[in-house]
């Protein structure tokens, strides 16, 4: 079972009512957050939302204006960075350019005055772990971006911290390398069992890497949950838009004997909502529908009575290879975005969807996410 789902389980990091002000500006506003041992936890948000400030307070580079942070049950107030069981992985450009890979990795251990033999063993083990043992004698400029990143990781992990803090760890890498390195990072984290706290503005990266994500905006946490739950059940318009894309409708909830429907502004037909909708009659809400939850077809769907159905006309098609994105005009000046797999055709005569086709969009009532 996941530790965060076990009632009474003890978190490894406890952030309690933490506020950080710079003069009159509040960068972090009353954050409460528990992170468990072995998690790969991401702080996700746009530029300036306070995620780096929060990470720096965990590291001990900054102090909270209010509130406190506990790590492994110990109050960290007044504990300097070097006495905390955490380490920060810096971007690879913080490597010492004149030192070899192995000396870069050994640097922190030498400063601690550990015996030479132990240093050598630990450095070698760590270079094996990041698969750079054959690069030990090279200098950083003789490595690729991804390799440099792994040296930075090895340098941070060789000190055997209980928590590793990573600020945009893959930010300097190009897209392909970033995707590859994500999986390496997850693999290493899994093997060592170290708790990782990652700061990122990249929602795909957070989705791929994390056990759980905290979605941040303007110094506050809007939602803390697993990637799946944040995607499927965003709790706010911000979270729904920041992670993936969604068709949004504004309007009022109507309740009657049969369940809940939604009357969207500017839309003639009602949208049926899932059975579990617990919103009072007349409440103004936003309804979000993910593009891939919507079926698109040229004929009326068969199970029409249990679906929401809107007719429309294809305005635009974005061909993405495995799937296509359709922009469908549903009237009233509204466009809905739908994504659908590009499936194999069974007959030469089968026609794929095309511009200006009249289509039906359909989705399950439970695929409409209600945001209050």
Residues at the site binding ligand ATP, with contacts judged by CB under 6 A: 22, 25, 27, 45, 47-53, 201
Question: Is the Cα torsion angle 110, 112, 114, 120 positive or negative in sign?
Answer: negative
- Nearest residue (beta carbon) to ligand ATP: 52
Minimum distance from CB of 42 to ligand ATP (Å)?
Answer: 12
Q: Token match 């110990």: residue?
A: 74
Nearer to ligand ATP, 64 or 365 (CB): 64
CB 252, CB 263: distance < 8 Å: yes
Q: Which two tokens stand for residue 286?
A: 């936003």
Nearer to ligand ATP, 56 or 122 (CB): 56
CB 193, CB 161: distance < 8 Å: no
Minimum distance from CB of 154 to ligand ATP (Å)?
Answer: 24
Helix axes 101-111, 145-157, angle to 10 degrees: 20
Nearer to ligand ATP, 215 or 310 (CB): 215
Paired sense of beta strands 284-289 and 195-200, if any: unpaired
Residues 6+ apart with CB under 8 A from 157: 87, 89, 126, 129, 164, 188, 192, 194
- Distance, CA of 356 to CA of 329 (rounded, Å): 9
Nearer to ligand ATP, 103 or 236 (CB): 236
What is the per-residue DSSP string for 85-143? SEEEEPPGGGS-TTS-HHHHHHHHHHHTT--HHHHHHHHHHHHHHTT-GGGTT--GGGS
Minimum distance from CB of 233 to ligand ATP (Å)?
Answer: 24
Nearer to ligand ATP, 27 or 31 (CB): 27
Minimum distance from CB of 41 to ligand ATP (Å)?
Answer: 15
Minimum distance from CB of 56 to ligand ATP (Å)?
Answer: 8
Minimum distance from CB of 276 to ligand ATP (Å)?
Answer: 34
Nearer to ligand ATP, 47 or 349 (CB): 47
Three-state secondary-structure class, residue 297: strand
Minimum distance from CB of 90 to ligand ATP (Å)?
Answer: 14
Nearer to ligand ATP, 52 or 87 (CB): 52
Of the candidates 370, 133, 201, which has an alpha carbon nearest to the alpha carbon of residue 275?
A: 370
């Amino acid at each position: 079972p996941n530790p965060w789902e076990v009632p009474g389980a003890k978190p490894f990091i406890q952030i309690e009512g933490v506020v950080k002000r710079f003069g009159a500006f509040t960068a972090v506003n009353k954050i409460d957050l528990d992170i468990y041992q072995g998690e790969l936890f991401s702080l996700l948000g746009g530029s300036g939302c306070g995620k780096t400030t929060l990470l720096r307070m965990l590291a001990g580079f900054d102090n909270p204006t209010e509130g406190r942070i506990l790590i492994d049950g110990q109050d960290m107030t007044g504990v300097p960075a070097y006495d905390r069981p955490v380490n920060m992985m810096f971007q690879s450009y913080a490597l010492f350019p004149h030192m070899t890979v192995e000396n870069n990795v050994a640097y922190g251990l030498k400063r601690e005055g550990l015996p030479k033999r132990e240093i050598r063993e630990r450095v070698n083990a760590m270079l094996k772990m990041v698969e750079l043992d054959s690069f030990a004698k090279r200098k950083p400029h003789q490595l690729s971006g991804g390799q440099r990143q792994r040296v930075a990781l090895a340098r941070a992990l060789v000190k055997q911290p209980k928590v590793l803090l990573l600020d945009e760890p893959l930010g300097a890498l190009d897209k392909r390398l970033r995707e590859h390195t994500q999986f390496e990072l997850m693999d290493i984290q899994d093997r060592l069992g170290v708790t990782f706290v990652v700061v990122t503005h990249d929602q795909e990266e957070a989705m791929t890497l994390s056990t759980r994500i905290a979605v941040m905006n303007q110094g506050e946490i809007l939602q803390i949950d697993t990637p799946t739950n944040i995607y499927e059940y965003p709790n706010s318009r911000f979270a729904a838009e920041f992670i993936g894309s969604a068709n949004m409708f504004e309007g009022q909830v109507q309740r009657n004997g049969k369940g809940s429907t939604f009357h969207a502004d500017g839309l003639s037909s009602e949208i049926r909502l899932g059975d579990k909708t617990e919103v009072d009659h007349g409440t103004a809400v936003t309804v979000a529908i993910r593009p891939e939850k919507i079926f698109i077809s040229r004929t009326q769907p068969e199970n029409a009575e249990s679906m929401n159905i809107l007719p429309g006309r294809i305005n635009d098609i974005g061909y993405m290879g495995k799937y296509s994105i359709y922009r469908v005009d549903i009237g009233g000046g509204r466009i809905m975005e739908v994504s659908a797999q590009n499936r194999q055709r069974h007959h030469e005569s089968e026609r794929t969807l095309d511009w200006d086709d009249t289509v039906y969009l359909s989705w399950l009532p439970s695929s409409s996410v209600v945001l209050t």
